[in-house]
Structure 1
């Protein structure tokens, strides 16, 4: 497990448990043993199973934990996602933190799967964005993949995206070309993408060398079709800007290569999962 993810788990446990689970310590006998099942109250896609296992094990290494439905798999209402057995105190102490991770990540995976299904039969990728919960980026982007989506850049370090604010500060084409050449020389292999709000910008950017893709921002289906025709396969095209589950199919039909949707991560609802003890 990535050290940053393990650190996040430790922080979440510390946040919840603090100096000790006073309810379990005082109201559950020390020698009590139980079995627990994490049960789905609604259908969805699994993500975060191994993180939930790690939460249980960090609380008590002696707990026996079994993943019944792995990450990326579909489940129905009533499905048992995970089983655990051991100290009742430990199970109850781990319950909320494990569920918080699992419910949130299953929600992201399930939301992503809905968008992926909505673009069919068009062969367009559904991309995530950097609009993630601070500290959760790795695991939320993993959840997007579990839902069938595709990860865009992980951060500012692995993909150059020259957006409208960058262009406000420097939109001169010769200056952009010089910056592209410099980046290609000093950081070979880094993808370079420019944001276009108008078809005139698209035409101008096509004169530049070394660009990998364009971000077509807030263009309706008609303008997107014109942009696709203008580019004629020379560059990858990403559509973005206020795209919803209701509008994504029309965008997919325009011929763009990818559609980025911030709602995959910033607006996903946590799924209804529960831990049943016996």
Structure 2
């Protein structure tokens, strides 16, 4: 999963707007073997320095990967330096407008199904725990609750009680079609995020409404953690929702 922000991923994809860079990307990714600078330059009738510049920019944006290999097949003294070769990366860059995180939901659902099959635990229970743990990692990496919510596309907006309404659901289409399952995943994920950041000023609760995420970051009274949350956020709470109509 690409941990970069939406802006960073968008910038990466935007580099392909340059026609030379896009042509190099298409040439490399359509090749069955890694491609060297000389080959790419000759194939597209470019100067070697021009090809090298654009290829390295694609690597910087994680749109291509690099490996080094001696093309002569020789090794040892006198074999020369390994050539820098470019290939399709194992990762991918995905951007949607508005921001969606279906890759995260897919990873959690697949992992939960696999573990459920091997352990015999209900998928729903496993999914809740996995989502919570994934949220803790996200929160610890982000450093603050606001940063984590923003980085993952939740678009936090202040409410009237010093809490946050989340203006965007990164799992929008899934939540509309599988409301109870996905909103439960989302709730556990965000409870884990809050735990991971160490921010105990908010309690994540289900509060679906039109044009927003189903989870609300409600401010705890007097900035204190409620009694129910003193031993960290529960991992398998009730996740009943009021129906599909209010899910953003």
Normalised TM-score (structure 2): 0.31
Q: Which has the higher contact order (CA 8 A, sep 6+)?
A: 1
- Structure with the higher fraction of residues in strand conformation: 1
Normalised TM-score (structure 1): 0.28
